[in-house]
């Protein structure tokens, strides 16, 4: 294995760690926000949070939310908001048995 391969793997691990920190921070902050009785967090609240935490615009926010939905952490409810489906551990991974 050459130095370039080692550097590439290290960079991939770093990118995953950064993404995990983003996921953790977002999920923890979202839980502190007021939700409806149905457990849905309104889109304006979610986008305001994404803007305040990560300086994401609406387009980037949608991309981030779709990635979280693909990972099974949240569900996007059309015209309503976001529902949390799973807990996240300190590594930003889905905790089994929650959903």
Give pLDDT, residue 99: 42
Q: Exposed, middle or buried, 81 (CB in 10 Å: 0-12/13-18/19+)?
A: buried
Q: Report which DSSP code applies to 92.
A: S
The pTM of the full predicted model, rounded to 2 decimals, is 0.74
Q: Read off the pLDDT of residues 32-41 as tens digits, 9 standing for 90 and up.
A: 898 898 999 9
Structure tokens at 8: 């590439």
Q: Read off the pLDDT of residues 21-57 as tens digits, 9 standing for 90 and up.
A: 888 888 888 988 988 989 999 999 999 999 999 999 9
Residue 66 CA to residue 50 CA, distance in Å, equals 13
Q: What are the structural domains, with CATH classification, of the chain?
A: 3-84 (1.10.10)
CA 8-14-10 angle, 5° bins: 30
Please check whether residue 53 is in contact with residue 44, taking contact to mean a CB–CB distance below 8 angstroms.
no
Give pLDDT, residue 98: 47
Q: Read off the pLDDT of residues 75-87 as tens digits, 9 standing for 90 and up.
A: 999 999 999 998 7
Confidence category of residue 61, pLDDT binned at 50, 70, 90: very high
Structure tokens at 14: 């770093």
């Amino acid at each position: 294995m050459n130095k370039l391969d080692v550097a590439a793997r290290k960079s991939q691990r770093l990118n995953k760690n950064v993404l995990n920190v983003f996921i953790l921070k977002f999920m923890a902050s979202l839980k502190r926000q007021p939700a409806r009785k149905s457990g849905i967090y309104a889109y304006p609240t979610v986008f305001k949070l994404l803007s305040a935490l990560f300086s994401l615009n609406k387009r980037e926010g949608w991309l981030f939310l779709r990635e979280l939905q693909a990972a099974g952490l949240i569900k996007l409810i059309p015209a309503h908001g976001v529902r949390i489906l799973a807990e996240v551990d300190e590594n930003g991974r889905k905790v089994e048995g929650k959903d």
